[in-house]
Amino acid sequence: MGMELARLHSLPEGLFARCKRDPGGVIALHRQGNAFQPVTAATFARCVRLRARGLLRLGVRSGERVVLMAPNSLDWAIMDFAILSIGAITVPLYPTFSPREIHYVLGDSGAGLMLLEGASEWRRMHNSWGVPNDRVLLRDANAAREAGLRHWGTLEDEGATLRDAELEERLMALQRQQTATIVYTSGTTGWPKGVMLSHGNILSNVEGFIPLVPLRAGQRLLSILPLSHVFERGTGHFGAYLLGLEVAYAERPDTVLRDMEASHPDIVVAVPRVFQLLYSRVRRGIEDRPGLLGRFLRRGAGMDPQGRPAARWQRALTRRLLIRNLRRKLGGRLRFFVSGGAPLDAEIARFFIDLGLPIVEGYGMTEASPVIAANPLEAIRPGTVGPFLPNLEGRIAADGEILVRGPSVMLGYWNNESATRETLVDGWLHTGDVGSQDPDGYLRISDRKKDLIVNSAGENIPPQKIEMRLMAQALIDQAVVFGDRMPYLTALIFPNQELLKEHVDARADGAATRKAIHAAISTALADLPSHEQVRRFALLPEALSEANGELTPTLKVKRRVVAEHYAELLAQMGNGKG
């Protein structure tokens, strides 16, 4: 398969070749009621072709940017391949993007067509773009009719009236170096940057990760992460479709366990937050088990309250009992998980390896299409992200930054040459992450040169954007936001003491102060998506200062120093207090 990928000119060519090889085979499954309904490769390919021809009828040009903003679905996958088939460029957007961010992306990308989910996106956005109504299509047919717009399905009707010759011409013209997608990532300034990835970038990345992440024809993969996230799109979308897997679409992120039970996947690609929840659920099940069996399981799982070690036979039997029960709940066929987007706790990785359900942890970034390194399934080392992909060069710079070079490194940032020059130096991608390699080449990420927060769901959050908003509130003098590897953001706040005295009665207790600060935080972040909301905060006993080593001479916050000074406060908030 590796050689075939190397010979392909484009992503659609790879898809259609797969569909031609096994037209009657299952390519995807979508949820209908309580069951997952299969879709054959021939049906999928036909829908992609019809929609591609429908886009041609709309006059979509080669190289034109098309915004695709909708939750995960079979429709999303078909639409993406249809856009790429005519040489257009998919610009995927999170449905949770704020109107302000969408407005910016529309202006920056110059998109000429918008494909949205339904009425709520249309109502939220239709006053803030310059795209005419006849170039906006909704996936929801009823919502489209009510709004006087076309829906995605009409593309198939319109495509049926067009001859295939024009589509074939566009397909034949596709080249590896052609831009396939522009993926907007959060920048530390708050404005997203558009990462340009070519067909060749993505194809070479799939070719690079398959020796380490063994996606094989006939396996079933459950898609739960947003398809607008490059990690899901690269592995569970392009990788899965081109390599002959079956892709099942989870209904929603919060129905994962139910969907796993119903879809019987071999592989689940997820972020550490999913494994944290699964780990907590399994441990809670053991802790709550009454009687002798409960005591036996707790000891066998290393959870004995007195810390007594279990015999080898007891550990083996416990593992067998736990995995049998867990496998059944996870659909009965699960072979392994894939984790990326954020660092995975080594203890959780070891726990699942012991259960016989290994988690292949990898590391990447949008600018590398996205996988840079991955643990080989048969040789996982918890706490590391594995070696660099075999078709990439990687090295550690003198300051500890991880640098990478190779065929999956981006073309550059759209409309942003200065940011491109800063990130790509002599072909080397500067990741902004600090790490080290062991003697066998396994990579360990120790820190982040850049301040971008990556939460436990793998979402990139620029803290400065949130801090600037908080400090724009009169009551807040200083604010430092944290949330790396956590499910929510926390903040350390130093209030404006003079205003606080005026705002809050001097005789009032601390609760009144907290209430006033909470209201200021809510006001500051009102229009941001849920993952950029501060859920816990603590009041600093004194202002951050240069004298204490917490600020630079130019008054920039030294995050690491602040985190060390207030480790206890941060730990309390991480445990749900504050």
> What CATH number does residue 24 fall under?
3.40.50.12780
Q: Residue 318 has which token pair?
A: 């416990």
Up-side HSE of residue 319: CA atoms within 13 Å toward CB?
16
Q: How far apart are CA 497 and CA 476, in angstroms?
A: 9
Within 8 A by CB and 6+ apart from 34, the residues are 262
Q: Identify whether 475 is part of a domain.
A: yes
Report the CATH number that the domain containing residue 515 is assigned in CATH.
Answer: 3.30.300.30
Through-space distance between the first and last CA atoms of the chain, rounded to whole angstroms: 53
Q: How far apart are CA 258 and CA 250, in angstroms?
A: 9
Q: Identify whether 501 is part of a domain.
A: yes
Domain boundary among 143, 172, 206: 206
Domain boundary among 146, 179, 206: 206
Residue 432 φ/ψ region, left for φ over 0, alpha for ψ in the -120 to 50 degree band, beta for the rest: left
Residue 509 φ/ψ region, left for φ over 0, alpha for ψ in the -120 to 50 degree band, beta for the rest: beta
Please name the helix (run of DSSP H) or strand (run of DSSP E) that holds residue 198, with its range, or none.
Answer: strand 193-198
Q: Identify whether 8 is part of a domain.
A: yes
- Count of structural domains within the chain: 2
Domain extent for 80: 2-206
Return the bridge partners of 445, or none. 435
Q: Identify whether 565 is part of a domain.
A: yes
Within 8 A by CB and 6+ apart from 567, the residues are none
Domain boundary among 206, 240, 261: 206
Return the bridge partners of 179, or none. 198
Q: Identify whether 300 is part of a domain.
A: no
Q: Identify whether 151 is part of a domain.
A: yes
Return the beta strands (E) in 438-568 as ranges: 443-448, 453-454, 460-461, 476-482, 489-495, 534-539
Predicted TM-score (pTM) of this structure: 0.82
> Tens-digit pLDDT profile for the chain (578 aa)?
544 899 999 999 999 999 999 999 999 999 888 899 999 999 999 999 999 999 999 999 999 999 999 999 999 999 999 999 999 999 999 877 777 778 889 999 999 999 999 988 887 776 666 778 889 999 999 999 999 999 999 999 999 988 889 999 999 999 999 999 999 986 544 578 999 999 999 999 999 999 999 999 999 999 998 899 899 999 999 999 999 999 999 987 778 889 999 999 999 998 887 888 788 778 777 778 888 877 877 777 777 777 777 788 877 887 788 878 888 888 999 999 999 887 888 888 998 998 889 999 999 999 999 999 999 999 999 999 999 999 999 999 998 899 999 999 999 999 999 999 999 999 999 999 889 999 999 999 976 666 778 899 888 787 877 887 898 788 898 999 999 889 999 999 999 888 788 777 655 567 888 999 999 999 999 988 899 999 999 999 999 987 788 876 446 688 888 999 999 999 888 887 66
Within 8 A by CB and 6+ apart from 90, the residues are 66, 68, 80, 83, 84, 180, 181, 182
Q: Identify whether 531 is part of a domain.
A: yes
Q: How far apart are CA 260 and CA 331, in angstroms?
A: 5
Q: Identify whether 411 is part of a domain.
A: no
